[in-house]
Structure 1
Amino acid sequence: MAHLLPDTAIFSPSVARAVASAAKDWNFVDSWLQQKFHGRSPPAFERNADTLRTLLALASVNEAADEERELIARLEADALHELRQLQAQQDQGNTADAAREAVLSAVEDGLSREGTAALNSMASVAVDFGMAFASPADLGRCMVELSAQADELEQMEARVGILSRYLEQEARGVAGLVKELKGEEYRPASDLAKQNLEIQRKIRTIATRLPELRDKVASLENSVGMPSPTIDQVQREEQAYLALLAQKKELDAQVKSFQGLPPNTDQARQELESLRTELRRVTNRRNAVFEGLVERETPKKPTRLP
């Protein structure tokens, strides 16, 4: 429940039990780490559910190993005591190898099935890690490092998968583009070589005529003479041009007023006269309406009695 905030109210009994269990487990893990680091603060690590499960498993394995180690120590003490008694009874020719074999045999005979399995597991882990004198703390640290490396490799695998899918998508796009470029739309014309030869022939022909054309242009310049206008002439021409534009706009406005009239002069006069008649009629109606409104709105004076 590491994702819950400390001040979050918990209303579900199952959630409350889970939070209490997690807090109890973290207290156990913290006390175990304090014991293993002999009062020193352990290294900083991420406190989440996965880390809690890993540390609980490691603490359980460590406690089992401690119990097995205490059992082995007692057995070794008993075996050593018996060995000393045997050494007192045996000849002086017994070697250290024989004593070690006897101790190991006694220890091996005294272990339970679970103890033998735990000892073999610790030995195989130590061999895999390349540790000659492995301690539970060293084995736990190596297991945590391996877990971190495994997580990092999983993230790298995910990133490589995303990159691989992106490259596959781009490869499909490139393949489609290549297929489209190989289609009929982008295929060169069958007479492209012939057109190229014809264009090259025209270029060579024009290139051979360039000196002659340059001579003609030079002779024309000498005979006719190129104009060299001054700034005042350009300004006068510009003013004349602007005056013509203004005159054109006025004429366009005048012509636009006659837009819609028939092209025949007589018909145009008749239509203009009918429009004038309509205008007079509308004007008279407007005046009559206005006079009616004035009479209606003007207050009438009371008549005086004689």
Structure 2
Amino acid sequence: MHHHVRAMDSLTPSDLFSPSKARQQRAQAQDWAHIDSWLSYKYAGRTVPTFERNDETLTVLRELSAANERADEERAIRERLEREALRELERDEAARLPADKQLLDTITAHLTPSGAQSLHSLAATATALNAPTPHPETLAHLLIHHTSTAQTLTNHLAHLTTLHTYLQKQHALLRAHLSTLRTTPAFSTPPNQARHTADHARQTKHLRAKLREHEDKLAALQGQARVAAATPKSADVGSAEAIAEMLEQQKALDEWKGRVEALEEEVGEFGGLPADRDAARKEVGRLEVELDTVRRRRDALFEGLVRK
């Protein structure tokens, strides 16, 4: 109660107008009251040691109190079961006929030490195997079943142990591969990859525009060539001037075709890249790794040829 008053006194004016904070303070005050009562009971009249009262301490003490209460409940249940089992044994002992008890005492008293030990072993074996009767054949069957079950479990345990060892080795191997992939420069993206990708994208866009422009010019030149062939400027088509003009036009046309083909080849190198920039980066990285693999394979083949 005293701690509850201290908690209420620690409320600020803003807390008084905040229902959630006030509710939290009340819950903490109730928890501290429960902890104080539990500690007083555990110390049984002795002085409870002083400690810092904060949220972390409250959390730990609350968990410890709950664990202690669960342990007390389990112990009480176990003690109750033991008392009930003892009462049941006492009832069975009281219900036994006096003649049977006298006969058992007489037989036990006249047994030799080895006979008494054998009788005790027989009773202990029947009890351990949970046998309905102490008949030797029944005990033998139960013992064989118990032995086979134990051997099966032992084999399963050995198999699981081997599997666990194998999985541990595979896990270590996979972690080593992962470390190699993370640390090998060939599998990492170059620092200037973004700039190169952006440059390639700009060049591709520029070359596409140039290609369309040259295609338009080539179409215009081809149209002019067809018009010139259909309507020559000179009446004499076989004159030297007409032939020279046609040769110049053909030469110019061949130059344009060569330039267009060169541009198409240059643009074709970027044709396999995706339109998205991130996807293009991944594709370029994959191609670089593939190129490095092919180079190493080529070098290995060359070294093998040299050794031969």
Structure 1 or 2, whichever has the larger Rg, is 1
**TM-score past 0.5 threshold:** no
| TM-score, normalised with respect to structure 2 | 0.36
Higher relative contact order (CA 8 A, sep 6+): 2
